[in-house]
Structure 1
Amino acid sequence: MSLRCPVRFERLARRFVSATGGNVAVLFAISLLPILGFVGAAIDYSRASKARTAMQAALDSAALMVSRDLSSGAITAGQVTAKAQTYFTSLYTNTEATGITVTASYTAKDSSGSSTVLLRGDGSVGTDFMNLFGFPALGIGSTSTATWGGTRLRVAMALDVTGSMNDDGKLGAMKTAAKSLVDSLRASAQGTEDVYMSVIPFAQMVNVGSSNKGANWLKWDVWEESNGSCSFWWYSTKSSCESAGRTWTATSRNQWTGCVTDRDQPADTTKDLPTNAATRFPAVSYTQNGSDICPQQILPMTSAYSSSNAQTIKNKIDALTANGGTNQPIGMAWAWLSLQTGAPLNTPAKDADFKYTDAIILLSDGLNTMDRWPSYGNGQTQFNGQIDARQKLLCDNIRASATNTSRTVIYTIQVNTDGDPESSILRYCADSGNFFATTTASGISSAFAQIGSSLSKLRIAK
């Protein structure tokens, strides 16, 4: 017995050591705790991420609201942090994180003319699972910056008022959309100089105002060629009258209603100041079937900040009527000129301490049909693309004039309710992504809204 028992116990010991039946349960029990920890950590981190996203959205909105208050004088620099906290608290609706503190720093106008407010939010989210491992909370934080005042806008609207704009509700839709743009850009202005706008109604010609008949930037050779009478009734132009040895008596300039035609080439595609005969603007009469059809007078650059000025711009748009043929180059040329200082429109000079964005918006409902040169068009179509060629050169010159600190952004809109082909020249002239084509009058509103959004982003940027 004494010899056999040790042998039996030895066998049992060996069987116990080599047994594997309970290993799975043991291993599972050992690994269960870290598995639960990883799952719990993922849940806690997901809650914290959601809280941080909500914090960022609230900070962004609060930063813009504080920037508006600062720029309007509603609060002082010393009130920035308290106001930021108040705005944030009203905007933050997430319940995962509580007691978030907001700090703010304000930098007044710097060398670029920009002012900046920086908001920072800090808080924490209590953990459910990670607390078991000694992590009772997860910290969250985020920042948001609002910058304003660094970029001022000069926006020239060249609006087609040719006869076809009377069709399909286009003229009314254009007026509504253009006035909405005035309101939209005015809302982003925080001072008189922030947003200026001009209105350039165009058909075959533009109207610079009959009160300018004595201006030295006009010339009268084209006017006098066809407006007057010959001492012998047979001749109807100055050149033919005088060639026949007769006397030509020009019509009084007091009868001029303000229309000018394209400048002599190549000045028709440049922004050259009107300092000599080659660069001055030819006064003309613009009649159709015996009636004067000169468009509404140009409105030079006007600040859109005050309600009265904004109404002046909108009143000009409201007064537009439609008649005549299409000459997009003259509309674009005068829009470009309205962005320049000096004669003829005397746009206010720019402040060197600020950045500026110049923009041209050209809307037309048709293809080019006529300009100053009869061989280029007949009111129905242009011959051999010469008008488009002048417009292409004009757009090239606008782009070529850009510098590191000054450029002109071009937006074009084609309102095509007549089944015309897409205007290749309008697409060519527009900067990338800035050509808008619509086949309905209602599409005008959408185009102007997108342009307004694009321009407003230059006023306040997060």
Structure 2
Amino acid sequence: MSQFSKDTFLRLARRFGRQESGATLALFAFAGVALVCLAGAVIDYGRLAKEHTSLQAATDSAALAAARLPSKDSATMQAAANKFFNANVAGLNGHNIQITKFGFEESTGTVSVEASGALDTSLMSIAGIKTMAYTSRSAAVKEVTGTVEMALVLDNTWSMSESAGAGGSKITVLKSAAKNLINTILTQGGTNVKIGIVPFADYVNVGVGNRKESWVSVPDDYSTTKTTTTPAVPYTCTTVSTKQVCTKGAPKTCTSTTDGVVTTYDCTPQTCTTVPVTPYQSCSGGTPEKTTTTVTNYKWYGCVRSRKTGELRLNDSEPTSPYPGFLGTSQQCLNPIVPLTSDKTVLTSAIDNLIINIGGYKPSTYIPGGLIWGVNVLSPTAPFAEGKTYDPANKMPRKALVLMTDGANTLYFRNSDGTHQAVRNNGDVTTTNLDTSKICEYAKSKKIEVFTVAFAVTDVAAKTMLQGCASNSANYYDATDSAALSAAFQSIGQSLTSLRLSQ
């Protein structure tokens, strides 16, 4: 000991033992009770912390369960919250565990839940503290609150005919992924969510039913008639004494490319010579004069070119400026646009019926043409006016554009007539890529959330363009195969329908 000797300490101990008043004993007894209470407080507050954590988890679960419902009826959501809450507090140690307050703020889509409970103490009861109350609060935001509008801008060019591996062709894989995305969003949002579909290739199809709309200018259908006269051929005979004999040289294979798809064909050269044969008579002719009349019909199939004035092809700043529709002897655009709708049958049927060619028409890629119509579908103004007014915060409504393509631009815009022509050089590709980026920037200026999906794209410039088009790095998906494409669409669906705790 540093300040007292051993003998001094023993003398103090003997004096303590001879005290007759008991004051010192009472002091030590009181201290003992205090120590017991202190130990009890440590134990009971530890129990309380555990129960409070469980109560908070149950409250969070209740808020999320209510927010997950497509319904915005407060009573329906509260019933769901109570169900989940009661299931999660069944094992808690306590009493009067219940939801004490439930609320739903429709303007923000926020569900709020408050709960409380009481825990019987153990050692703290010695000090007269029989119970301890505890509370929790949670709020969840309904991301799908009846204000989501999404445009699916989907590549339907000839390159989508290529194999995607075990999943079949690229277009087959796209159909499956797109339907899953639609199902995910409509399941969470129900009739409160609207989706539009924009199939694109070299041109888009706005639907023949819109022919009289002010936002499209279509010339009248017409026909041309051509009469051809074939003169009479007299019956004549000639003596034939030679014939052509051809032999193939070394085998040779040639290739042709359509929208990036390489096709091979046999182009083995032949050598022909004339050889003598036993003379014989060959007769022909004897046909009278013949007049043939051919009627060619030119009609509108819903196809439109780009607007030629200034840069109106890249934005929706002048919705009254019409798009030029063009006629043809056959359809030179694919399936029509589906405007914003909540009808799941209409949407899934449109996806099932996506096509990549019509007869010999095998379209190439012009991404700006599809992209601007994705903006038009979401715009509150014509063309297509189903979209709600833009919200600067992109919440009421939340607008999203999903662009999926499997390749680089292979066409460029020709200002003289608004047509999309086959690229002649890298400069044409760069110009079209720049137009694509400008439309993306315009969409983002309207606070439209842009997602881009590069499906098996190998062109570096195209991937860079698509990455820059997305609203942020998380909204760009480099889907190298069919599994990655399905995962990308699933991720987008979850992003648009996810629930989040706000407190």
**Above 0.5 in TM-score?**
yes
Take 1:159 and 1:14, find their aligned partners in 2: how far apart are those partners? Answer: 94
Residue 262 of structure 1 is matched in structure 2 by 306
Q: Is the 8 A contact 2:388 2:397 kept in 1?
A: no
Superposition CA RMSD, Å: 4.2
**Which residue of structure 2 aligns with residue 339 of structure 1?**
378
Instruction: Specify whether residues 15 and 299 from structure 1 end up closer, same or farther in structure 2 by C-alpha distance, changes over 3 A only.
Output: closer
Q: Is the 8 A contact 1:370 1:382 kept in 2?
A: no
The equivalent residue for 1:8 is: none
Q: Which of the pair has more CA radius of gyration? A: 2
Distance of aligned partners of 1:170 and 1:38 in 2 relative to their CA distance in 1, 3 Å threshold: farther
Inter-partner Cα distance in structure 2 for 1:419 and 1:351: 34
User: Does residue 1:106 correspond to 2:151, yes or no?
Assistant: no
- Aligned-partner Cα distance in 2 for 1:461–1:200: 35
Distance 1:155 1:280, change over 3 A: same
Q: Distance in 1 between matches of 2:132 and 2:387?
A: 55
Distance, in Å, in 1 between the alignment partners of 2:86 and 2:370 is 50
- Return the alpha-carbon distance in structure 2 between the equivalents of residues 299 and 453 of structure 1: 23
Tell me which residue corresponds to 1:315: 349
Match of 2:157 in 1: 162
Match of 1:183 in 2: 183
The amino acid across from 2:112 in the alignment is L
Distance 1:39 1:328 in 2: 72
Query: SS of the residue aligned with 2:189?
Result: coil
The one of 425, 428, 436 equivalent to 1:391 is 436
Retained in 2: the 8 A contact 1:376–1:383?
A: no
Q: How does 1:193-204 map to 2 (within 5 A)?
A: 194-204=192-202
Of Structure 1 and Structure 2, the greater helix share is in 1
2:452 corresponding residue in structure 1 = 412
- Is the contact made by 2:423 and 2:429 (CA closer than 8 Å) also made in structure 1? no
SS of structure 1 residue aligned to 2:58: helix
Query: Contact between 2:141 and 2:499, CA under 8 Å: does it hold in 1?
Result: no
Contact preservation (8 Å) 2:365, 2:409:
yes
Rounded Cα–Cα distance in structure 1 between residues aligned with 2:80 and 2:431? 60
- 2:324 equivalent in structure 1: 282
Query: In the aligned structure 1, how far is the partner of 2:390 from the partner of 2:117?
Result: 43
Gaps of 5+ in 2: 14-27, 229-294, 358-362
2:7 corresponds to 1:16 = yes
| Partner residue, 2:282 | none
Partner letter of residue 425 of structure 1? M
Deviation at 1:449, TM superposition (A): 1.5
Secondary structure of the residue that 1:321 maps to in structure 2? coil
Unmatched segments (≥5 aa) in structure 1: 1-12, 23-28, 233-249
Q: Which of 64, 84, 92 is the matching residue for 2:89?
A: 92
Q: After superposition, what is the alpha-carbon deviation per residue over 1:339-365, rounded to whole angstroms, capped at 9, x for unaligned? A: 12343223255599x921111110111
- Residues 22-33 of structure 1 mapped to structure 2, 5 A cutoff: none
Structure 1 window deviating more from structure 2 (371-380 vs 122-131): it is 371-380
For 2:471, the equivalent position in structure 1 comes to: 431
Question: Closer, same or farther in 2 for the Cα pair 1:423/1:229, shift >3 Å?
Answer: farther
Q: Is the Cα–Cα contact under 8 Å of residues 369 and 381 in structure 1 kept in the other structure?
A: no
CA distance in 2: counterparts of 1:163 and 1:38, whole angstroms:
78
Q: d(CA) in 1 for partners of 2:350 and 2:70? A: 33
1:455 maps to 496
Counting aligned pairs with the same residue, the percent is 26
Separation in 2 of the partners of 1:398 and 1:122? 47
Amino acid at match of 2:336: Q
Following superposition, the deviation at residue 140 of structure 1 comes to: 2.1
Could you list the per-position Cα deviations for residues 33-82 of structure 1 after superposition, in whole angstroms to 9, with x for gaps in the alignment?
989877765554444333222222222232344457793659479xx5x7
Evaluate the alpha carbon distance shift between residue 97 and residue 147 of structure 1 in structure 2; reply closer, same or farther with a 3 A threshold: same
Distance 2:91 2:425 in 1: 63
Q: Deviations over 1:440-459 (max 9, x none)?
A: 11111211121112211379
TM-superposed CA distance for 1:460, in Å, is 9.6
